[in-house]
Chains A and B, each alone.
Chain A
Amino acid sequence: MANAIEVSGISKQFVLRHTRSIKETVVWLAKGRRGDLSKKFHALKDVSLDVKAGETVALLGFNGSGKSTLLKHISGVMLPDSGTVRTRGRVAGLIEVGAGFHHDLSGRDNVYLNGAILGMTEQEVNDRFDAIVEFAEIGEFIDTEVRFYSSGMYLRLAFSVAVHTDPEVFLIDEILAVGDEPFQRKCIDKIQELAERGKTLVVVSHDLDLVSRICARGVLLQHGNVLFDGPISEAVSRLRS
């Protein structure tokens, strides 16, 4: 199988303290740019990761270890300071529940908007609209403004739109936790079905039992470094110890 994601040697630095005031900037310039205007740290440090098409990968690690940052690099939201990221086919990212949803719009409008944001054409959204609503089990709430949705309903609709974009690569960051038990099971079934159809999956979750069920491979991150990359069971036991 060909690679669906190739991450080679990417590093990303973030600044710890932002200086936004003109005064401080002017003083800094006047002093001949001496000293650090802002402190930096590595959120990702020389991370390499090849994912084959059809693989299911879990990104594991403690809070702040760089998992979301890595996903954002794969989806193209962020660009690395050095190194390269390359992906094949349509990438759909569920980075957070309801990103791309607008509170003041109805569920219906949001399905269209979010579908378009994730790269669907008008024809595609029209064709899949019923399937999306059905999968989300939103029913009559589809014409309600989403500000009145519960967070679970949000998730259902967002997840449903995302799987129906038929992406080649599916990135999921920590969202399944919001759904209730039946819907979670439904999502997992769907995810497994996608994996069987050769779709690539990268999942971030702190629910280790859940990821053990979905993913075959685990990548352990710590302070922006890849600590371990191998079978999920070993990754989970390393993280637990």
Chain B
Amino acid sequence: MSSNTQELVQPGLGRGLADVARSRFLLKLLVRKELKVRYRGSVLGLLWSYVKPGVQFIVFYIALGVFLGLEKSPRNPDGLSNYAVYLFSGIVLINFFTEALGNAARSIVHNGNLIKKIYLPRELFPIASVWVSAVHFFPQIVVLVIACVFTGWQPGPFELLAAIAGFTIVALLATGLGLLFGAANVYYRDSENIVDMLLMIATWASPVLYAWTMVQRQLGDVAFAVYQANPITVGVELFHYAFWFPTTNGSSPMPPDLFSLWLPVGLVISVLVLVLGQITFRRLEGRFAQEL
């Protein structure tokens, strides 16, 4: 009989992210559930993940590119060439981060009813949130690529690797912070608001809307190094390198040491945040069921 061959084990002690890897089927269903529920009863459905960034992009482009003069034009030779592509390649990444972290931070409390009653690896919920955001990210990347092709984009393998690296860095960071704040949110609901604030800052604390050279001019060396070490900055610059830079004539400067220094730094910081998030999550998850 099977019951005699199995060992006695302590229930409720998971192995964290390793368990998530083993529950891929459940993860898939959770992601699908999330997508189905999100667009239930909406006519446009998944199209919304094209429409919303599209509108946001137009607003920013007109306000910043045209009115504030960030776009390069005959009257404004110091501007950024192809500002539209520059802007959009940063926006898609920051949108992914914002949605992933915002939802991951709420995921544990949202799924409280389930977590209170049935044991399952709870890391699944923040991970599923990040995954859902990746699904929303994909159509935006498609739109971006089409725009790039029209503006003369000819990517090499190096550009594609840079894009993958940028996405990976940001996804790891979102997962790590999502685990951290998702767990903290069970105990202090303030954590949701802290996350909202962080996300607002994140858009402006990385060169999404403006160029990194403007920051360098204002900041000292140390402060600028801190600015550069931000994994989101690294991710956004990698995206600029992958999508925007090949569409320009190559005269716009890319940040120095992007690949030799800042890429590894961003990756290491993201991984450290992930490890920290996982450790904190495991510390706190033992009491999820009773606190929710």
Partner of A77 from the list B2, B9, B117 (CB cut-off 8 Å) is: B117
Are B120's CB and A117's CB within 8 A?
A: yes
Looking at the assembled complex, report how far the CB atom of B255 sits from the nearest CB atom of chain A, in whole angstroms: 39
**0/1 interface trace, chain A 36-77, chain B, CB 8 Å (1 if under):** 000000000000000001000000000000000000111111
Q: Which of A2, A14, A72 has the most CB of B within 10 A?
A: A72
CB-CB < 8 A to B117: which residues of A?
72, 77, 93, 95-96, 99-100
- Whether, in the assembled complex, B158 has its beta carbon less than 8 Å from a beta carbon of chain A, the answer is no
Looking at the assembled complex, report how far the CB atom of B285 sits from the nearest CB atom of chain A, in whole angstroms: 9
Residues of chain A from 1 to 45 with CB closer than 8 A to chain B in the complex = 2-4, 6, 14, 20, 22
Residues of chain B from 4 to 51 with CB closer than 8 A to chain A in the complex = 4, 6-13, 23, 25-26, 29-30, 32-33, 36-37, 40
Looking at the assembled complex, report how far the CB atom of A209 sits from the nearest CB atom of chain B, in whole angstroms: 26
Residues of chain A from 74 to 101 with CB closer than 8 A to chain B in the complex = 74-79, 84-89, 91, 93, 95-96, 99-100
Are B118's CB and A89's CB within 8 A?
A: no
- Whether, in the assembled complex, B147 has its beta carbon less than 8 Å from a beta carbon of chain A, the answer is no
- Whether, in the assembled complex, A231 has its beta carbon less than 8 Å from a beta carbon of chain B, the answer is no
Q: How far is the CA of A95 from the CA of B33 in the complex (A)?
A: 22
Whether A86 contacts B10 in the complex (CB less than 8 A), given A53-B3, A77-B118, A117-B118, comes out as yes
CB-CB < 8 A to B120: which residues of A?
117
Looking at the assembled complex, report how far the CB atom of B42 sits from the nearest CB atom of chain A, in whole angstroms: 12
- Whether, in the assembled complex, A229 has its beta carbon less than 8 Å from a beta carbon of chain B, the answer is no
Q: How far is the CA of A91 from the CA of B6 in the complex (A)?
A: 12
Whether A76 contacts B33 in the complex (CB less than 8 A), given A20-B188, A88-B3, A198-B3, comes out as no
CB closest residue in chain B, given A87? B11
Are B33's CB and A89's CB within 8 A?
A: no
- Whether, in the assembled complex, A109 has its beta carbon less than 8 Å from a beta carbon of chain B, the answer is yes
Q: Which of B2, B11, B120, B287 has the most CB of A within 10 A?
A: B11
- Whether, in the assembled complex, A226 has its beta carbon less than 8 Å from a beta carbon of chain B, the answer is no
CB-CB < 8 A to B26: which residues of A?
116-117
Are A72's CB and B289's CB within 8 A?
A: yes
- 23 contacting pairs across A/B (C-beta < 8 A): A2-B3, A22-B188, A53-B1, A72-B117, A72-B289, A75-B118, A77-B12, A84-B10, A85-B10, A86-B8, A86-B9, A87-B11, A88-B3, A88-B9, A89-B2, A95-B117, A96-B117, A104-B40, A105-B33, A116-B29, A117-B118, A117-B120, A168-B3
Beyond known contacts A84-B10, A100-B114, A116-B26: 9 more, CB 8 A cutoff? A2-B3, A74-B11, A78-B12, A78-B289, A87-B8, A88-B8, A95-B118, A105-B33, A117-B120
